Structure 1
């Protein structure tokens, strides 16, 4: 039986550390990738500040606090922090040729980064689909600010997720991430109903049971979202797998990376190590 360690289940096996999957791209140099991620993070946090400023100057300050009850906002914050930290990781690698922070932090931090990567390449698509299919009411915005803010949070969010699927040299998501993604959705469902019972409003209209009259419909929506998240996971996984297939494992390494120009040798060594590992499960 093949040995499958906990690190392997989460995609953080030490044998793959030299690939620098989260800090490299097959298309962009580490410096350009770091700059792109930094710019996206800057735009996301600027968007948040501008929207909050709009609320504050239009007698809607309460909406700032209420924003933390919305899944859209929570995932948007997640995108911002992912791109911020990924830009820092990539910039450090571009300068030194090493995973400076990952090498210093406990390996568990790599697991958390992989799970964060899974959320930002899956949840934004769910947000976009739910908003434009269930919540948006045409015609399109006649007021500039609401149009811009909703495109930023419900359109560009998925564009950023798609960039992170297509540009880096990341591996397909570990399937053990599926229960984590579902658990986080359940936690959010708790947040939504706690918000209703403490603040008196539903974050999303399709969660309103109307005193139990629409419990079946709400349950159907919940199971529909559950099915959607699994489908989106599989699509995201498939796109990453296809990207790896078509790019042939190419990596644009940093100038100071000691393995620059030796990727074929590294790939062979990784394959040999995976084939010769003891075949029993350990946790």
Structure 2
């Protein structure tokens, strides 16, 4: 018989994928978005492409299409406003484009595997949600598994009626993991909508500022910055995640364990997110 969950003891950590566990800087989708719109005669910047990061990729493309400068270019090039049918077509083109490059950005973020192992050593379950769809994750998950990372579940954008910032992917994760006290779960993510996903599900939330989309630099680019520039970037990225409601902000998952200690202590005192 399974043990009854205790509402004052941590039960699970739910990690995002790109920018949180692997792909420092969450770089894999960025070039794909730029090339996608370029194929249709529309120029977008990497900064614009990063804006809606974390939502389902169809929603991401839709959000980009609503940018005034993008909408104006589409109107000029195609002679009509962009429609949802156009977004459907863009999404169909994007998925294999992103899947083709995602393996090139599947290196683990330093400390990620050690952190996951430490979580498991504490008896915590490991959940995962992602803004990637199933076809893209069918490329990513075998690479991650071969490298030593296999979470207890995977919920992808498109699996449910709504993705982030709704709590539906988290609720599915609760069901998959067999946990039902949201306050005993910690969501770790690098995007504002990922933090909102956790908040809307009632969990603790931890934003990863340096390794993810909020900063958007590769590990080499980050290491090349001066300490002062690193601090400026850290503060800027952290502010975005705090504005979304993150209970804690750290540089990367390598710094997660002391945060879990603090959350565990707060739970033991009867505190909730």
TM (norm. structure 1) is 0.25
Which structure has more strand as a fraction of its residues? Answer: 2
Using CA pairs below 8 Å that are at least 6 residues apart, which structure has the higher relative contact order?
1
Question: Which one has the largest radius of gyration?
Answer: 1
Which structure has more helix as a fraction of its residues? Answer: 1
